[in-house]
Amino acid sequence: MNRDNKTREVTDLKLEVIPRQEHGISRKGISENALKVLYRLNKAGFEAYLVGGGVRDLMLNTQPKDFDIATNATPEEVRKLFRNCRLVGRRFRLAHILFGRDVIEVATFRGHHGSEKGEKGEKSEKGEKNASQSNDGMLLRDNVYGSIDEDAERRDFTVNALYYNIDDFSIRDYAGGVEDLNNRVIRLIGDPETRYREDPVRMLRAVRFAAKLDMTVNEATAAPIPALAHLLRDIPAARLFEESLKLLQSGYGSQTYKLLRDFNLFTPLFPILSEHFTEDRNSKCEQMIELVLKSTDERVASEQRINPAFMFAAMLWYPLETRAEEIAFESGLSYYDAFMVAANDILDEQVKSIAIPRRFTAMIRDIWQLQLRLSRRSGTRAYKLLEQNKFRAAFDFLEMRGEIEGGQLQELAQWWDDFQKADRDGRNDMVQVLNKASSAKKVRRRRKAKPRRRKPTQES
């Protein structure tokens, strides 16, 4: 097995079996539903392993978010064992075992493209029929089943090629994953460029795991990424939306963003934002990105609710402002009309790379539009704005803008903060002060009445 902590890549796998007494994983740390699936598969005569991130996180003494299972049973065989099973996926067929909201994902051992077993274990003339690839080497279909040894070779990173065997409670380590966990290294299995071309999302996963686990990306694994980042443009926008949430809304978005920038992976996801980037990474747009991601991380840590719409609204705000000003200048439209046109333009462009669902784009528009209305507080407007469904999100965003821009914007955010905290009389007083100030600024001018035109007298 060729391995070096700095530059070498994993080319040959060598199995190491770690017995129960030599590792710290206990069944107490595994969810009850995952254990049910493991035991039933094992009792039916199939191999059954807890695999990937679940094993990795248990080895790091952290609670896994998901428990994924690998087996030699085909998806159809899994479905026969579990009435609460549904089969999903086209690129690679998976079985989802449903326990209410808890979903245990079961995957059949993956084989090599040239292997003889296809989707139903039948012989195929060529492996290519079961695992087609694009001209760039990206896998379009991957329903080729194999053995656990082949499955380990198909795993992406060494720390994810760990298998917990429910039969004897041992850990099967195929790629030195335990050593890399101890050394805090993210290392790809196989030739990095080939693996990235097979699935460009692996580049995002390398960065995500490095940020999440506070590890370093191995040099050989990191080297091809900047040059291959453009391959992400070939990934379906819907898949990249899901990946963007994992990257930026899982509690370590701020650090992930910095790594994405370092590896040139951020621009393929948000091409509109790249026009607003500077060498010192301190433009208003960049400050906003860091501010909203830091806020999101804090909310995740404190188990508060988060909404993707707020994050996207904040990240895309300054491109929206720039576009609105350009449209107003070039077309002669009022700023409000230009703003609404620009909002549609920005979202239309962004969904081409990350397919933000309509339920979120509608909220993004609401947050943006309220930014124009929050400065209008006289009369009953302040009370009506306070009743808006998206007021709180709009206010939080206003505070962020004020923190970046200062001046009158920060004063406006402070006024709204005071207004929310004030009692009924206090709010009335605040609005009265505004009304008086507004009246004092108005210069009333009497309009001179135009003289009536006299009708010409008719000569008799």
- Region 320-337: mean pLDDT is 95
- DSSP for 25-44? --GGGS-HHHHHHHHHHHHT
Contacts of 192 (CB under 8 A, 6+ apart): 9, 220, 221, 223, 224
Residue from 142, 151, 156, 180 carrying the catalytic annotation: 156
Output the CA–CA distances (angstroms, integers) from residue 446 to 322, 443, 449, 453, in the order listed.
39, 10, 9, 21
pLDDT for res 195: 94
Residue ranges of domains in the chain, CATH in brackets: 13-113+139-183 (3.30.460.10), 322-441 (1.10.3090.10)
Q: What pLDDT band is residue 139 in, cutting at 50, 70 and 90?
A: very low
The answer to whether the CB of 427 falls within 8 A of the CB of 417 is no
Q: Does the structure show a pLDDT above 50 at 3?
A: no
Over the chain, what is the mean pLDDT?
88
Q: What pLDDT band is residue 132 in, cutting at 50, 70 and 90?
A: low
Contacts of 101 (CB under 8 A, 6+ apart): none
Rounded CA-CA distance 358/187 in Å is: 37
Q: Does the structure show a pLDDT above 60 at 429?
A: yes
What do you get for the CA distance between the two ends of the chain, in Å?
A: 121
pLDDT for res 16: 94
pLDDT for res 128: 39
How are beta strands 171-173 and 68-71 bridged, if at all?
Answer: unpaired
Q: Does the structure show a pLDDT above 80 at 12?
A: no
pLDDT for res 142: 52
| Residue 156 bears catalytic tag | yes
CB atoms inside a 10 Å sphere around CB 149: 13
- Region 94-112: mean pLDDT is 93
What SS3 class is residue 145? strand
Output the CA–CA distances (angstroms, integers) from residue 272 to 319, 426, 447, in the order listed.
7, 43, 49
Q: Could you read off the pLDDT of 36-95 as tens digits, one per residue?
A: 999 999 999 999 999 989 999 999 999 998 999 999 999 999 999 999 999 998 777 899
Residue from 66, 366, 396, 417 carrying the catalytic annotation: 66
pLDDT for res 459: 47
Residue from 68, 142, 173, 199 carrying the catalytic annotation: 68
Q: What pLDDT band is residue 266 in, cutting at 50, 70 and 90?
A: very high
Q: Could you read off the pLDDT of 276-289 as tens digits, one per residue?
A: 999 999 999 999 99
Nearest to 96 by CA among 118, 73, 81, 79: 79
- Region 345-358: mean pLDDT is 97
- DSSP for 78-107? HHHH-TTEEEE-SSS-EEEEEETTEEEEEE
Q: Could you read off the pLDDT of 180-223 as tens digits, one per residue?
A: 999 999 999 999 999 999 999 999 999 999 999 999 999 999 99
- Region 304-311: mean pLDDT is 96
| Residue 417 bears catalytic tag | no
Rounded CA-CA distance 118/126 in Å is: 10
Q: What is the pTM of this model?
A: 0.84
What is the dihedral angle through the alpha carbons of 356, 359, 364, 367, rounded to the nearest 10 degrees?
A: -160
Rounded CA-CA distance 76/93 in Å is: 10
Q: Could you read off the pLDDT of 114-125 as tens digits, one per residue?
A: 544 444 444 433
- Region 406-411: mean pLDDT is 95
Note the residue count of the chain. Answer: 460
* Distance of alpha carbon 194 from the chain centroid: 25
| Residue 345 bears catalytic tag | no
How are beta strands 185-186 and 216-217 bridged, if at all?
Answer: parallel
